[in-house]
Amino acid sequence: MTELQAGQEARPLEVPRIDARPQRYRDVLIALAAFAALALLPMIFGSKSLLDFVIRCSAYGLFATSLNLLVGYTGLISFGHGMFFGLGAYGFGLMMQKTGVPIPVAFVATLVITMVVAGVIGAICVRLKEIYFAFVTLAFQMLIHSTILSWQSLTGGDQGLRGGIPRPPFLGIDLSNHLHLYIMSCALLVIGLLLMRQIAQSPFGYTLRMIRDNATRASFIGIDVWRAKLTIFVLAALFASAGGMIMALFVSGAYPEFAYWTISGEGIFINMLGGVTTFLGPMVGTVLLLILNDTVTRLTEYHGIVLGIVILFFAIGLRKGLMDFVVEWIAQRREKAGG
Amino acid sequence: MKKTRKPGISRRATLALMGAGAVSVAAPWVARAQAKMIKIGMPTILSGRVAQLGTSSRNAVLLEVEKVNAAGGLAGRQIEMVIRDSKGQPQEAARVARELVNTDGCEMLFDGEASSGSFAVHEVARDLGVLCIHTCSEASSLTADPKQHIPNAFRCVRQGIHDSIVGASYAAGIAKAKGLKKWATCSPDYAYGRDTTGEFVLYLKKFAPDVEIISESWPKLFQPDYTEVVTKILQAKPQALYSCLWGGDLTSYIDQANIYAMFSQMEVFAVNMADYTALTVVKNLPKGIHSGDRYIKTFPPTPENAAWGDAYKAKYNEYPTNWSWQNATAVMFLDAAVKKAGSTDGKKVAEALTGLTIKCPFGADGTVTMRAEDRTLVGYAIGWGTTIPQEPYVPDVKAGDWTTIFELEAEWKKSKGYT
Domain residue ranges of chain A, discontinuous segments joined by +: 21-260
- Assess whether pLDDT exceeds 60 at residue B17: no
For residue A83, pLDDT beyond 90: yes
Closest residue to A301, CB basis, from B47, B91, B99: B47
| Rg of chain A over all Cα atoms, to the nearest angstrom | 22
**B297 within 8 A of B309, measured Cβ to Cβ:** yes
Share of chain B above pLDDT 90, in %: 63
pLDDT at residue A339 in the model: 56
- Please tell me the distance from the alpha carbon of residue A151 to that of residue A25, in angstroms, as a whole number: 47
Residues of A with CB under 8 A from a CB of B: 47-49, 52, 56, 149, 152, 156-160, 162-164, 176, 178, 247, 250-253, 255-258, 262, 294, 297-298, 301-304
DSSP letter for B74, please: B
pLDDT higher than threshold 80 for residue A15: no
Say what the pLDDT of residue A45 is.
83
Residues of A in contact with B193 (CB under 8 A): none
Contact B34/A at CB under 8 A: no
Question: Do B191 and A253 lie within an 8 Å CB cutoff?
Answer: no
Is residue B260 within 8 A of residue B233, CB to CB? The reply is no
DSSP string, B273-319: -EEHHHHTT-SSPPTT-EEEEEEBTTBS--HHHHHHHHHHHHHHSS-
Kindly report, residue by residue over A195-206, the tens digit of the pLDDT.
999 999 999 999
- pLDDT of B1 > 50? The answer is no
Cα angle: B20, vertex B21, B23; to 5 degrees: 65
In B, minimum Cα distance to A305 occurs at B47
pLDDT at A7: 47
Cα gap A183→A172, rounded to integer Å: 13
Predicted pLDDT at B31? 47
Q: Which amino acid is at B317?
A: N
Say whether pLDDT at B326 is over 70: yes
**What are the pLDDT digits (tens) for B332-346?**
999 999 999 999 999
CA A176 vs CA B128, B197, B355: distances in Å: 11, 38, 30
Return phi, psi of residue A45, to 5°.
-110, 130
Alpha-carbon distances, residue A184 vs A255, A283, B395 (angstroms): 22, 18, 60
Convert the pLDDT of each residue in A280-332 to its tens digit. 989 999 999 999 888 888 888 888 888 888 888 887 877 778 888 888 888 88
pLDDT at B7 over 80: no
pLDDT digits (tens, 9 = 90+) for B109-155: 999 998 778 989 998 999 899 999 999 988 888 898 888 899 999 99
Q: Is B90 within 8 Å of chain A by CB?
A: yes
pLDDT over threshold 90, residue B185:
yes
Task: Assess B98–A contact: CB distance below 8 Å, yes or no.
Answer: yes
What pLDDT sits at residue A4? 47
B134 CB-side CA count, 13 A = 38
- A103-125 and A225-251 are packed helices; what angle lies between their axes, rounded to 10 degrees? 140
Give chain A positions within 8 Å (CB) of B139: 159
All structural domains of chain B: 35-159+302-377 (3.40.50.2300), 161-301+383-415 (3.40.50.2300)
Residue B342 CB neighbours (<10 A): 11
Does the pLDDT of residue A9 top 80, yes or no? no
One-letter amino acid of B96: V
Q: Are strands B376-378 and B274-275 parallel, antiparallel or unpaired?
A: unpaired
CA distances from B198 to A53, A84, B163, B383 (A): 41, 32, 12, 19
Of A71-80, B187-196, B258-267, the one with minimum mean pLDDT is: B187-196
- Which has more confidence, A187 or A41? A187
Whether residue B2 is predicted with pLDDT greater than 60 in this model: the reply is: no
Mean pLDDT of chain A, nearest integer: 87
Q: Is the pLDDT of residue A232 over 50?
A: yes
Backbone angles phi, psi at B362, to 5 degrees: -105, 10
Collect all residues of chain B within an 8 Å Cβ-Cβ radius of residue A258: 91
pLDDT at A19: 66
**Overall average pLDDT of the B6-24 stretch:** 57
- Average predicted confidence (pLDDT) for chain B: 88
Tell me the per-residue pLDDT of A254-280, one tens digit each, with 9 for 90 and over: 988 899 998 999 999 898 888 888 899
pLDDT at site A272: 87
Q: DSSP of B75-113, one letter per residue?
A: TTB-EEEEEEE-TT-HHHHHHHHHHHHHTS--SEEEEB-
Nearest by CB to residue B148, choosing from A157, A163, A302, is: A163
Distance from CA of B31 to the nearest CA of A (A): 21
- Closest to B91 (Cβ–Cβ): which among A49, A251, A297? A251
Cβ B120–A257 below 8 Å, yes or no? no
From residue B398, alpha-carbon distances to A202, B321, B366 in Å are: 74, 20, 16
**Pick from A90-99, B4-13, B222-231: least confident:** B4-13
Q: How far apart are CA B249 and CA A150, in angstroms?
A: 20
pLDDT at B248 over 90: no
Backbone angles phi, psi at B415, to 5 degrees: -65, -25
**Burial class of residue B129, CB neighbours in 10 A (0-12, 13-18, 19+):** middle
Q: What are the tens digits of pLDDT across the range B53-87?
A: 899 999 999 999 999 999 999 999 999 999 999 88
Residue B278 CB neighbour total at 10 angstroms? 25
* Predicted-assembly ipTM surpassing the 0.85 threshold: no
Q: Could you tell me which chain A residue has the CA closest to the CA of B139?
A: A159
The predicted pLDDT at position B310 comes to 94
Minimal Cα–Cα distance from A132 to chain B, Å?
26
Question: A159, B191: Cβ pair inside 8 Å?
Answer: yes
Could you give the angle at the alpha carbon of B206 between the alpha carbons of B171 and B167, nearest 5°? 30
Which residues of B206-289 form beta strands (DSSP E)? 212-217, 240-243, 267-270, 274-275
pLDDT for residue B155: 95
Q: Taking CA atoms, what residue in A is nearest to B149? A: A163
- Give the residue among B160, B110, B87 at the shortest CA–CA distance from A257: B87
* CB-CB neighbors (< 8 A) of A249 in chain B: none
Asked if B141 is an interface residue toward chain A (Cβ–Cβ < 8 A), one would say yes
pLDDT of the residue at B9: 59
Query: Within 13 Å and on the Cβ side, how many CA atoms surround B262?
Result: 29
pTM: 0.83
Q: How far is B353 from chain A (nearest CA, A)?
A: 23
- Chosen from B95, B140, B187 to mutate, greatest number of chain A CBs within 10 A: B95
What does the alpha-carbon distance between residue A81 and residue A35 come to, in Å, rounded to a whole number?
A: 26
For residues B278 and B285, give the distance between their C-alpha atoms in angstroms, rounded to a whole number: 9
| Torsion B150-B151-B156-B160 (CA) sign | positive
Omega before B300 within 30 of 0, i.e. cis: yes
Give CA–CA dist A252/B123, Å, rounded.
6
Q: How many residues in total does chain B contain?
A: 419
Question: Is the Cβ pair B119, A160 closer than 8 Å?
Answer: yes
Proportion of chain A above pLDDT 70, given as a percent: 94
